């Protein structure tokens, strides 16, 4: 993350990290499925995100997913807080005009291990919405493709590929991986087929953040 991004994100981060149990102005009725303490903290996080002009629906869904999966209150609060911070970082990298769908996909890409610089480069490379390229990037890394290889491939495709082409590219990589190909090699092969140069020998990285 660049110093500029860090400075821009600081107020948002501070608000999200400091958000605690408070009486939210109008708590989303769907959060009634959470216990009282968890609901109060999640509502405060949602309010902070709203104040920072971040999308709040992904946060609500993250909390509801935890409730349905019977996760502990601490786990739910931690997951919602982490997603809110990722959404803030995604917005800093993609710009204030990014749509909620783009921010959600960008947060997933960041969580998978992509750098904010990659997100910013994608923004400059592609005029169309970035939801699918960012999601494909996150999915490739989740499939075991090194971040550098996945980013190079998606960046190479993003400028001219349609959403459907990107999804097909991801399927081709996952198919080759399922057939036994190393993830980086599968990505390079699919990228070559798509006339994109990708360095198959890119530094291997463990998917996800430490």
Tokens at 16, concatenated: 């999200």
Told to check if 64 binds another protein by CB under 8 A, we report yes
Nearer to another protein, 61 or 199 (CB): 61
**Angle between the N-to-C axes of helices 3-18 and 36-51, in degrees from 0 to 180, rounded to the nearest 10:** 150
Nearer to another protein, 8 or 153 (CB): 153
**Angle between the N-to-C axes of helices 73-94 and 116-125, in degrees from 0 to 180, rounded to the nearest 10:** 50
C-alpha distances out from residue 145 to 137, 178, 196, Å: 9, 12, 16
Q: Is the CB of residue 123 less than 8 Å from the CB of residue 94?
A: yes
Nearer to another protein, 56 or 104 (CB): 104
C-alpha distances out from residue 1 to 26, 63, 117, 194, 201, Å: 34, 27, 7, 30, 25
Nearer to another protein, 26 or 68 (CB): 68
Instruction: Pick the piece of the chain touching another protein (CB under 8 A) from 37-45, 148-156, 161-169, 187-195.
Output: 161-169
Told to check if 105 binds another protein by CB under 8 A, we report yes
Nearest residue to 150 (alpha-carbon basis) of 93, 103, 112, 99: 112
Tokens at 42, concatenated: 């999640």
Told to check if 132 binds another protein by CB under 8 A, we report yes
Tokens at 79, concatenated: 């997951």
Told to check if 207 binds another protein by CB under 8 A, we report yes
Tokens at 131, concatenated: 């939801």
Q: Shortest distance, CB of residue 169 to another protein, whole angstroms?
A: 12
In the list 38, 40, 41, 143, the residue contacting another protein (rule: CB under 8 A) is 143
Q: Shortest distance, CB of residue 197 to another protein, whole angstroms?
A: 24
Q: Shortest distance, CB of residue 104 to another protein, whole angstroms?
A: 5
**Positions that interact with another protein (CB under 8 A):** 30, 58, 60-61, 64-69, 71, 75-76, 78-79, 82, 100-101, 104-105, 108, 111-112, 128-129, 131-132, 134-136, 138-139, 142-143, 162-164, 166-167, 170, 174, 207-208
């Amino acid at each position: 993350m660049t110093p500029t991004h860090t400075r821009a994100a600081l107020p948002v981060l501070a608000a999200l990290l400091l958000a605690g149990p408070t009486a939210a102005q109008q708590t989303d009725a769907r959060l009634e499925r959470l216990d009282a303490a968890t609901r109060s903290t999640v509502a405060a996080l949602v309010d902070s995100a709203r104040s920072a002009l971040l999308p709040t629906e992904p946060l609500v869904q993250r909390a509801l997913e935890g409730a349905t999966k019977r996760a502990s209150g601490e786990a739910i609060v931690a997951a919602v807080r982490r997603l809110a911070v990722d959404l803030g970082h995604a917005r800093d990298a993609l710009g204030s005009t990014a749509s909620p769908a783009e921010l959600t996909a960008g947060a997933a890409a960041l969580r998978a291990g992509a750098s904010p610089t990659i997100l910013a480069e994608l923004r400059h490379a592609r005029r169309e919405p970035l939801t699918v390229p960012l999601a494909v990037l996150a999915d490739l890394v989740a499939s075991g493709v090194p971040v550098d290889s996945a980013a190079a491939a998606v960046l190479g495709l993003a400028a001219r590929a349609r959403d459907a082409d990107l999804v097909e590219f991801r399927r081709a990589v996952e198919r080759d991986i399922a057939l036994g190909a190393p993830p980086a090699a599968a990505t390079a092969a699919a990228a070559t087929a798509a006339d994109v140069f990708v360095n198959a020998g890119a530094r291997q990285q463990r998917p996800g953040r430490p």
